Amino acid sequence: MSTPEALPSREGRRKPGRLGVGVIGAGRVGAVLGAALRAAEHAVVGVSAVSEASRERAENLLPGVPILPIPEIVERAELVLVAVPDDALPELVSGLAAVGAWQPGQLVAHTSGRFGTGVLEPARGLGAIPLALHPAMTFTGLSLDLTRLPDCSFGVTAPAAVLPVAQALVVEMGAEPVVVEEEDRVLYHAALAHASNHLVTLAAQSTQLLAAIGIERPDRLLGPLMRASLENALAAGEGALTGPVARGDSGTVKAHSAALASAPEDVRRAYLELAAVTAVRGVKRGLLTPDQGLAITRALQQSGEDDQ
C-alpha cells in the first residue's frame, strides 16, 4: 500500500503524515469524527450513507466528500473509520474480508465501545492494522459535537506496536486517549452505559413523579440538583453522598417507600433497589454505621413485603 506522503488528495498533494480517510457510516458518530479528522488535515476520501438523514449529515459535516459504496471506500482509504452499530460490525468486517477488500498496512478503526480489536481479526488476517477508538460521549450529529470533543475521552485498544498511532489519532481529533485492555473492553462499556443510560432512566422516572403531582417544569427542580450531584460525585466519589440514606434516616426512607406504593412499578422498584445498594455501599465505606445500614435495609424490606 502506498505511504501517506505518496498519495495526492483531491484538493492537492497532502501534507506528510496525513492519511486518506474513508468513513463507513455517516451516523451521528461517524460523520462528526470524520469531520474532526478532516479538521486535522487528513483527507476524507469517501463516506458511506444509506439513509436520507445520513446523506444530509454527510453533506453538512463533510461537504464535498463523495458518497460511495463501502468496497470503494475501503479501496481508496489508508484509514478506514467504521462507525456502525455494534451488532452490524462483525458481519461487515468479515464480509469485506471474504471478498479480499482489506489491504496490507491499512489502518482499520472502529468506534464501538463493546468490542476491542478482536472483532477486526478478519481484516488483520489480510494485513490490515486494527484499532478500537470509542468516544465516551453522546453525539447529536451536528457541528456542535466538534466543540465538545476537547472535553471527551476515547477508550483506545490497539496492538502495542501501533498503540501510539491510535493515541495520536485521538489527540488529533482534540480528545484524550485512555487505554483499555482487550479483555476489559466489555466491562469498560458496561460501566459507561450504566452511568450514562441509567442516568437518563432515573431522570425520566423522577420527572414522571413530579409531573404526576402537578409540577409543570420538573426540569427546573431536577436540573440544578442533578448537575450538582454529578459534579460532586465525580469530584469526591461516594463521599459526596447526601440525603436520607447518607444520614441513616430510615424513617424518611420508609415514608418514601410508602408514598411510592401508588407510583409506577418500575419507579418503585428502582427506588427500593438503589436505596438498598446505596446503604450497603455506605456501610462498607464508613459513611453509615452497621446499625444505620441495617435499619434502612429493614425499612426497605418491609416496604417490599407490603407489596406482596
Q: Is the pLDDT of residue 177 over 50?
A: yes
- Give the SS3 label for residue 200: helix
Q: Is the pLDDT of residue 17 over 80?
A: no
Cα distances (angstroms) measured from residue 73 to each of 76, 108, 110, 236, 285? 5, 12, 15, 46, 53
Q: Residue 305: its pLDDT value, please? A: 63
CB-based contact 45:81 (threshold 8 Å): no
pLDDT tens sequence across 4-15: 333 333 444 566
Residue spans per domain, the chain: 4-180, 188-306
Q: Residue 16: its pLDDT value, please? A: 66
Instruction: Give the whole-angstrom CA distance, residue 121 versus residue 27.
Output: 24
- Lateral strand order in the sheet of 107-110: 43-48, 20-24, 79-82, 107-110, 129-135, 153-157, 176-179
- Give the SS3 label for residue 279: helix
- Grid cell, residue 158, equals 490497539
pLDDT interval class at 152 (50, 70, 90) = very high
pLDDT interval class at 308 (50, 70, 90) = low
Model confidence, pTM: 0.88
pLDDT tens sequence across 92-144: 999 999 999 999 999 999 999 999 999 999 999 999 999 999 999 999 999 99
Q: What average pLDDT score do residues 182-204 get? A: 97
Q: Residue 36: its pLDDT value, please? A: 98
Cα distances (angstroms) measured from residue 119 to each of 49, 81, 92? 22, 14, 10
167 φ, ψ to 5°?
-65, -40
Q: Residue 14: its pLDDT value, please? A: 61
Q: Residue 11: its pLDDT value, please? A: 43
Cell numbers 460511495: residue:
68
The CATH code of domain 188-306 reads 1.10.1040
pLDDT interval class at 249 (50, 70, 90) = very high
- Give the SS3 label for residue 130: strand
Q: Report CA Rg, the chain.
A: 24
**Is 4-180 a domain of CATH 3.30.565.10?**
no
